[in-house]
Structure 1
Amino acid sequence: MAPRAPIGIFDSGIGGLTVANAIVNILPHETLFYFGDTAHVPYGGKSAETVVKYSHDIVSFLLDQGCKAIVVACNTASAAALASLRHNWPSIPIIGMEPAVKPASSATQTGVVGILATRGTFSSERYANLVDRFGHGITVLENPCIGLVELIEAGLVDDAITENFLHQILTPMLDKGADTFVLGCTHYPLVRPLIERIIPPSATIIDPAPAVARQLQRRLQHLSLLSDQRTDDHHFFVSGDPHAFHTMAKRFFLADFLLEQHLIY
C-alpha cells in the first residue's frame, strides 16, 4: 500500500466531518475519501445487522478506491461492525469510535457523567464493556438523544428548536450533578456551541474525535504509511441528496473537496 494513498472515512451523514477535521488538523498531507450514507441516516435506530451490512458495503467501496486505511467515523457503526470489519480485512488498519467513558471517569469531579449517544451505541456489547471496565465509582447517565441527528442533518445546528431539545436532555443530567459530558455520536460536536450555552463553564465536554485522529496517526506511522504530500483533492461520496450534503459540508469541513453521489446498495 502506497503512503500517498487516501484514507477512507465513513459515517451515516455529516457527523463524521468532525472526525475528518481532526484528521486534517494533525495530518495535513493526507487525502481523505469520505462516504456519507445519507440515504440511510440515522444509523442509531437501525438493527445491528443492518448497520453491519451498510458498513461492509461502504468499506468495500472505499477500499476499491485504493484507500490505505479506514476510519469508522460513526459510534453506532463502530459498536456494531468494527470487529467484523477488522476480521474481514485484517491487513487494513481500521480505526473506530467509542464513547469516551475512560477519560470521562478521570475528568469528573462530582462522580457523575452524562453520555449523549444513540440507541445503537447504548445497546452494544462494546459500550457495556467500556462501562464495566471504567465506570466503577461513578454514576453514568445516558440519553440516546432520539431526533438530534435528524435536527443536525437538517442544518438546525444553531436553532432554538435544537437548543430547547438539548435543554430537555442536559437539564436532568445537571440536576443529578453531572459535570462531565461525553459526545458519543460524531454528529453531536456540531452542536457543541449550544451545549456550552446550557451547561456551566466549569463543566467538561469530551469529544473523542481528536483522540481518534491521533490513533490513526500512530497506526499509519507504525506501518510507514504516513504521506509526505497531499497529491489529490479530498473526495466526498454520498448515497443520498448531494446538494443538501454539499451545503452542510461547505459549512463544517475545513478544506476544499470534490463531491459526487454514489449508490452502492
Structure 2
Amino acid sequence: MTPREIVALLDRVATIDGRIDRQLNDASSAERVVTRWTTALADVPATLPAGSWDVGRVVRNYYERRGGDNSAQYHPVEPYDILTAWARHRDALMQRHTDPTPAADPDDVPAFLTEMRTTRTAVATGRAAPIEYRALTSGPHPAIEARLRAIGSCIPSPARAELARYRPVRAVREAAVAAGQPDPLNVRCDWCQAPEGRPCRSRRVRPDGSVRSNARRATPHPSRVELATAQHGGEAAA
C-alpha cells in the first residue's frame, strides 16, 4: 500500500475507533503512524480485482467480530491484524495457482526459474490473479467414450498383453472373465483362507507345523475355482 492509501485507510478507521483518531490529531504523531503503517503494509495491496480482497472490508470485519466486546478488552486495529488477514488470503491464492509453463527455454535454467518465481511473486503480492486449470465438468469427449465402448477398456489389447507377464494374477482373472467364466477371486478361498479380492497363497509347512513360506500364487486353488463356479451357476439359475 502507498502512503496515500494508508492515509485514506487510517481516516476510515478513525471514524470507527476514536483511539486511532486521537493518534492522528498531532501532526508529528500522525506522520509517525503513517510511516509505520506504510512500512509494515508495503507488500499488501489495498484492493484486488473482482473484489476478492479489500483492506477496508478487512478492518470493518475486525471491529464487527468484536462488536459485543468492551473496547478495553481488545486493541485498536494494528498493521499485524491486516498482515494476518492478508497472509490467509495469499495462501488461498497460492493454493489455487498452478504454475504455467514459462516461455523461457527450459535449457536456460536461470531464466526458466526466474520467470516462474516472478509469476509466483506477482500472485503472492496481489499484482496478478492466480492461474487455474479448468476442471472437467462434462465427462470424457464423445469420441473417447465411443472408443472405450469399442475396446472395452482404456488399456489397448496389445498393451494389456504386454502387461500380463508383470500382472499374472490379474491376467488370470481377466482371461477367466473373457472366457465367460466367473472370477475366482470374487469368493473367499476355503483352502488358504485368502479373502475376497486377494490372491491365493501357497503355504509350506515344516515338520513341526510352523509355516516355512507363504508365497502368492498366480492361479487360485482349484477349490476356490469350483466355489466361484458353483455360486455363478446358482446366480445364473436364479
Q: With structure 2 as the length reference, what TM-score do the two structures score?
A: 0.19
Q: Relative to total residues, which structure has the larger helix share, 1 or 2?
A: 2
Q: Relative to total residues, which structure has the larger strand share, 1 or 2?
A: 1
| Structure showing greater relative contact order (alpha-carbon pairs closer than 8 Å, 6 or more residues apart) | 1
